[in-house]
């Protein structure tokens, strides 16, 4: 009898550990169609791997909030989440919490991905996360309205955008749409504003906040000029509420047909073309405008998300298998075709189905490979603080609390204190 109880207890314990060992939880984004796409992918994995359960944990839309949630799991060294969707700016800040995927089979597949992203995700020779999708800022524009108001194509410079947006807005309002705005973008005080403002500054030949060599460059005349221009949009061609907008807030206004231009990531393309969208068939995308300064060129911020396996996972082998499956060719292809999420696997940019579904993956390929990186590698493990100082300074200008010259001078002091880096000699 005693033997029976012992063996029963053992069997139950084994069954329990087997059950928990066969469950993988993926913390994933839910912006646009992201959640539905990853849930469908998890279902495909489970179909191919009976006995494994893949749970998808829905996480906040704004990168800063998502990071806050992840830090709570890491702080507790929690095994609850096995795979984390991490931002392209996080490998340096978060590397201690992840296993080296080179030790879990990634070495065989990394060669398929953009080398720059693999390099970004590799810290001290350890692959912190496998690239999943990449991102770059784009200008969405209404082809029907450009034609209606006699414009040949999208604006080449920010001042052209300002004028075109104003003309279209005035015209649409005069025809009775009082909800219509010229230009929507991401102006809330969060990581998204860092992306938009880096685009303005880089496009105006104003550098990239902190340069890869570790010099603080943000306090310069070209940056000041373009940030003041952006502040002039708030309440004129952009709604006053834009200083509280994230990606989805901008997309909702755009997709309802109430904006002439939108700055957003590629994911908004496929949603804009879907049934029920007021802009289906009447919009296109282009590179963002160049700054008006001499030497101004269009600039897109590099974004994108990776999959890393937690060091605190109870089953890193299985978790890595799930991560590599989600980031595989076939899965990235589905995400590209159905969700216009940019693959990180180079060959997919030559895949006919992908190019048919999202033509600009081909026509704007250069935008994706030349995107400007945020200074996350140079400032790790303090990038999150650097970015928060930056977007707070920009936000203070957008909301009229400071002028750009004052805000960027103060920001320079903060960045020196935070990083110990020198300033760039003008």
Which of 155, 266, 296, 304 forms a contact with ligand GLC (CB under 6 A)?
304
Contact between 191 and ligand GLC per CB under 6 A: yes
Question: Per-residue string for binding with ligand GLC, 351-390, x by CB under 6 A?
Answer: ----------------------------------------
Which of 91, 187, 192, 257 forms a contact with ligand GLC (CB under 6 A)?
192
Complex with ligand GLC: residue 88 or 197, whichever CB lies closer: 88
CB of 85 to ligand GLC, least distance (A): 10
Complex with ligand GLC: residue 146 or 299, whichever CB lies closer: 299
Record the tokens describing residue 128, joined without a space: 């912190």
Segment interacting with ligand GLC (CB under 6 A) among 40-48, 81-89, 140-148, 403-411: 81-89
Query: CB 115: neighbour CB atoms within 10 A?
Result: 10
Segment interacting with ligand GLC (CB under 6 A) among 34-42, 286-294, 301-309, 353-361: 301-309
Complex with ligand GLC: residue 190 or 261, whichever CB lies closer: 190
d(CA 321, CA 404): 48
Which of 83, 88, 268, 323 forms a contact with ligand GLC (CB under 6 A)?
88
- 94, 104, 101: which is closest to 118 by C-alpha? 101
Segment interacting with ligand GLC (CB under 6 A) among 187-195, 209-217, 314-322, 378-386: 187-195
- 70, 88, 71: which is closest to 27 by C-alpha? 70
Complex with ligand GLC: residue 63 or 146, whichever CB lies closer: 63
HEC readout, the chain: CHHHHHHHHHHHHHHHHHHHHCEEEEEECCCCCHHHHHHHHHHHHHHHCCCCEEEEEECCCCHHHHHHHHHHHHHCCCCCCCEEEEECCCHHHHHHHECCHHHHCHHHCHHHECHHHHHHCEECCEECCEEEEEEECEEEEEHHHHHHCCCCCCCCEHHHHHHHHHHHHHHHHHCCCCCCEEEECCCCCCHHHHHHHHHHHHHCCCCCCECCCCCECCCCHHHHHHHHHHHHHECCCECHHHHHCCHHHHHHHHHCCCEEEEEECCHHHHHHHCCCCCCCCCEEEECCCECCCCCCCCCCEEEEEEEEEECCCCCHHHHHHHHHHHCCHHHHHHHHHHHCCECCEHHHHHCHHHHHHCCHHHHCHHHHHCCECCCHHHHCCCHHHHHHHHHHHHHHHHCCCCCHHHHHHHHHHHHHHHHCCCECCC
> Using CB under 6 A, which residues numbered 203 to 262 contact ligand GLC?
247
Which of 135, 225, 331, 351 forms a contact with ligand GLC (CB under 6 A)?
135
Which of 87, 112, 225, 321 forms a contact with ligand GLC (CB under 6 A)?
87
Segment interacting with ligand GLC (CB under 6 A) among 92-100, 173-181, 298-306, 363-371: 298-306
Segment interacting with ligand GLC (CB under 6 A) among 144-152, 204-212, 300-308, 375-383: 300-308
For ligand GLC, the nearest residue by Cβ is 303
> Using CB under 6 A, which residues numbered 95 to 114 contact ligand GLC?
none
Segment interacting with ligand GLC (CB under 6 A) among 163-171, 230-238, 303-311, 404-412: 303-311
> Using CB under 6 A, which residues numbered 195 to 214 contact ligand GLC?
195
Which of 303, 339, 343, 375 forms a contact with ligand GLC (CB under 6 A)?
303
CB of 268 to ligand GLC, least distance (A): 11
Complex with ligand GLC: residue 90 or 158, whichever CB lies closer: 90
Residues that bind ligand GLC (CB under 6 A): 63, 87-89, 135, 191-192, 195, 247, 265, 303-305
């Amino acid at each position: 009898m005693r033997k029976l109880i012992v063996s029963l207890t053992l069997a139950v314990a084994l069954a329990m550990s087997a059950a928990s060992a066969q469950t993988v939880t993926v913390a994933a984004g839910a912006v646009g169609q992201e959640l539905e796409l990853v849930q469908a992918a998890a279902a495909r994995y489970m179909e191919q791997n009976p006995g494994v359960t893949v749970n998808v944990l829905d996480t906040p839309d704004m990168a800063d909030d998502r990071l806050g949630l992840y830090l709570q799991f890491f702080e507790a060294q929690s095994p609850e989440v096995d795979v984390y969707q991490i931002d392209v700016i996080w490998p340096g800040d978060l590397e201690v919490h992840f296993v080296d995927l080179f030790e879990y089979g990634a070495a065989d597949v990394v060669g398929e991905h953009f080398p720059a992203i693999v390099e970004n995700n590799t810290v001290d020779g350890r692959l912190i996360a496998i690239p999943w999708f990449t991102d770059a800022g784009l200008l969405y524009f209404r082809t029907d309205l450009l034609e209606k108001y006699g414009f040949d194509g999208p604006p080449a410079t920010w001042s052209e955008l300002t004028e075109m947006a104003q003309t279209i807005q005035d015209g649409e309002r005069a025809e009775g749409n009082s909800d219509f705005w010229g230009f929507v973008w991401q102006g809330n005080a969060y990581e998204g504003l860092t992306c938009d403002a880096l685009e303005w500054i880089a496009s105006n030949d104003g550098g990239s906040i902190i340069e890869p060599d570790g010099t603080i460059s943000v306090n310069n005349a070209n940056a000041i000029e373009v940030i003041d221009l952006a502040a002039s949009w708030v309440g004129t061609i952009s709604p006053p509420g834009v200083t509280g907008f994230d990606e989805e807030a901008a997309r909702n206004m755009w997709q309802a047909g109430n904006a002439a231009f939108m700055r957003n990531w590629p994911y908004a393309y496929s949603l804009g073309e879907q049934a029920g969208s007021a802009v289906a068939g009447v919009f296109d995308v282009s590179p963002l405008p160049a700054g008006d300064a001499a030497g101004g060129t269009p600039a897109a911020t590099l974004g994108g998300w990776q999959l890393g396996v937690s060091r605190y996972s109870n089953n890193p082998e299985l978790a890595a298998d799930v991560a590599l499956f989600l980031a595989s060719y076939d899965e990235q292809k589905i995400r590209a075709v159905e969700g216009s999420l940019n693959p990180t696997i180079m060959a997919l940019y030559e895949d006919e189905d992908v190019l048919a579904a999202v033509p600009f993956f081909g026509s704007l390929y250069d935008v994706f490979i030349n995107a400007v990186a945020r200074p996350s590698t140079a400032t790790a493990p303090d990038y999150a603080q650097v970015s928060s100082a930056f977007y707070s300074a920009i936000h203070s200008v957008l909301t009229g609390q400071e002028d750009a010259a004052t805000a960027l001078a103060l920001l320079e002091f903060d960045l020196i204190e935070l990083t110990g880096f020198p300033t760039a000699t003008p």
